[in-house]
Structure 1
């Protein structure tokens, strides 16, 4: 190894520095955005249909031309099934089949000067898949859809196709816009080398379809054994996180957050019945006539029953609002939770978060500010300071407070957003340049200083 190569490997990566930047090996736009976003760049804009299949939409001739190398592999088949919509997983697998047929097996994505990954290097978890009944049922239905889609053309044999399906399931990234809304799905060969941790050292964001991985802390060198991202939302108990990781990725997490004791008590905790006390009551072990360890208030059987009734109602409504959020339902849940759930109870925070987003959507800005201000400490508690969601929350609050003619408070949250998003997204990101900087200029017009 030359001296220059050695220097490149041991060079320090600063906090917010780019670890990896990569284009997808294969990707799709979520079908629910098919008529709203460009099939190539995934951005919103004035769109026009592909004149052949009239299925895909593009924001201009440049994107249509760039996307043709992949779209030509599916265009005739999409035309044949019109007006039906191909399920996202089926379209992803169909593209994968055709790309591999055309030599995609030889594509190499580098994660260092000389090291790279090919599609075959991704883990398929074939034995796990065989024993995963829900995924096997999904695979069987996809096989039927693809057989019809390709009009009887020969598909890969079942073992080969299942290997593709397994690699797709376990290695896909959700492609998000700058506000972390999922707009597509992609496989990134080099990025797939990074392992999971519930206490990540790196974060992934996207510029269009380009994956950008940044360091959340200063890294002394490019050591991939020390670089971790989170595959899941870490705002959950250890039991919930590990169950999701085992069901989706087939491993048991051994990160410090999972090995060491965690404050499970307050994650699912009850509030003290004494409204003047801020103590958390362990909902899992509290018994009737127990007392609060801090103020001595008696925990009645009625209070315990109320807690579990509200918990059941909240979980039911949270499950029902995975696709569509109902602000009135969120408000009912929050009213029931008041004085019953501890302030850092995960289900309470998730309800607050849905209410916050829904209030913005329905232009209920006073409500949004109220919910957002409560969320700030909660997000810092679970996500830490340098997390995209924490930064976006500060940015949204700055916008809302400026709208309410509270520029001084808005500037405070905007400064926090700047500090966080410069690490998670970078100062050259479209989010930073198109949203944060203009908002700073708007506040400056109100006479405030940076």
Structure 2
């Protein structure tokens, strides 16, 4: 789920031979944020659209544009007024490129260029992000440029968090976990096992650091999710989570 709808749909199409048209794949909010830039206005958290690559974010069915039952099979309209309306909409969409739809702040040419370079750099290194230094370098390039929920930023944080655990850099891992939790909630939802595992990992690190109140908070969040997703008889829940939860409660 931590991918673009196009990538998810392609995997389903190749393995299960159907094109997914669910609300999640076609949801406007997610599509708007997937490759979004951060608004230059520090007080605004609205995503800003900047085209950086000629790629599709979602696969649309060939007959998707059947409006009023009067559309050709290739998606071209037989109605001239509809064509004109579509052209006007496309024009206004282009004009809004690089401009925040909430506060009206416009990105400078330099900011747009920096965003494009950050996205291209991240895409190039995304498959090699087992290395902590590569992850950190990518995140430095993304800082203040990519929207906090941008899918590539989320993927980088995910790789970075796992890499930091491997090398036991707990302080930085905690910082990245805080940023990663909202991303997981946005892409996976409130009751996904991967979100539960993230809370568990984060809580375990906090417990190791003796930050007991925060550790207890994270482990309780993990317990609520994993009890549903895994069940109270699963070894992860029964042997690992409950043990850590008991330890956090006793020590606090």
Shared fold per TM-score greater than 0.5: yes
Superposed displacement of residue 409, structure 1: 0.9
Instruction: Pick the aligned partner of 2:120 from 299, 309, 312.
Output: 312
The answer to whether residue 11 in structure 2 is matched with residue 244 in structure 1 is yes
Q: Which residue of 2 aligns with 1:357?
A: 162
What is the alpha-carbon distance in structure 2 between the residues aligned to residue 307 and residue 410 of structure 1? 36
Deviation of 1:378 (Å):
1.1
Q: CA deviation at 1:354?
A: 0.6
SS at match of 2:246: helix
Give the gaps of 5 or more residues in structure 2. Answer: 52-92
Given that 1:315 and 1:347 are in contact with CA atoms closer than 8 Å, whether structure 2 keeps it comes out as yes
CA RMSD of aligned residues (A): 1.9
Is 2:68 aligned against 1:301? no
More strand as a share of residues: 1
Q: 1:384 to 1:338 in 2, by over 3 A?
A: same
CA distance in 2, matches of 1:374, 1:287: 32
Q: Distance in 1 between matches of 2:149 and 2:43?
A: 17
Instruction: Supply the distance in 2 between the matched residues of 1:309 and 1:394 (Cα, whole angstroms).
Output: 32
Task: For residue 381 of structure 1, report the CA deviation from its aligned partner.
Answer: 1.0
How many angstroms does 1:317 deviate by? 0.5
Question: 1:329 aligns to what?
Answer: 134
CA distance in 1, matches of 2:194, 2:97: 40
SS of residue paired to 1:401? helix
Given that 2:38 and 2:47 are in contact with CA atoms closer than 8 Å, whether structure 1 keeps it comes out as yes
Distance across 1 between alignment mates of 2:27 and 2:179: 28
TM-score under structure 1 normalisation?
0.45
- State whether residues 98 and 112 of structure 2, in contact with CA within 8 Å, keep that contact through their aligned partners in structure 1: no
Could you give the per-residue CA deviations for residues 379-400 of structure 1, whole angstroms, max 9, x where no partner exists?
1111111111000001111111
Change (3 A) 1:254 1:277: closer
Give how far 1:319 is off: 2.4
Matching of residue 404 in structure 1 with residue 212 in structure 2: no
Residues 289 and 301, structure 1, Cα contact 8 Å, conserved in 2: no
1:245–1:253: 8 Å Cα contact kept in structure 2?
yes
Give the CA deviation at 1:287. Answer: 6.0
In 2: Cα distance, 1:299 partner to 1:281 partner = 9
For residue 291 of structure 1, give the secondary structure of its aligned residue in structure 2.
coil
> In structure 1, what is the equivalent of residue 40 of structure 2?
273
Cα contact 2:219–2:241 (8 A) shared by 1:
yes
1:416 and 2:183 aligned? no
Q: 1:378 aligns with which of 169, 179, 183?
A: 183
Q: Which has the higher contact order (CA 8 A, sep 6+)?
A: 2
Which aligned pairs between 1:19-98 and structure 2 lie closer than 5 A?
none
TM-score scaled to structure 2, two decimals?
0.78
CA–CA distance in structure 2, aligned partners of residues 401 and 286 of structure 1: 46
C-alpha separation in 2, matches of 1:290 and 1:308: 12
Gap change, CA 1:338 and 1:312, over 3 Å in 2? same
What do residues 205-257 of structure 1 show as CA deviations (whole Å, max 9, x unaligned)? Answer: xxxxxxxxxxxxxxxxxxxxxxxxxxxxx222222221222233332113332
State how far apart, in whole Å, the 2-side matches of 1:260 and 1:332 are: 31
**Contact 2:48–2:98 (CA under 8 A) maintained in structure 1:** no
Q: What does 1:44-443 correspond to in 2, within 5 Å?
A: 234-258=1-25, 261-284=28-51, 291-321=99-129, 325-443=130-248
Q: Which structure dedicates a bigger proportion of its chain to helix? A: 2
Unaligned runs of 5+ in 1: 1-233
- Cα distance in structure 2, aligned partners of 1:311 and 1:418: 36
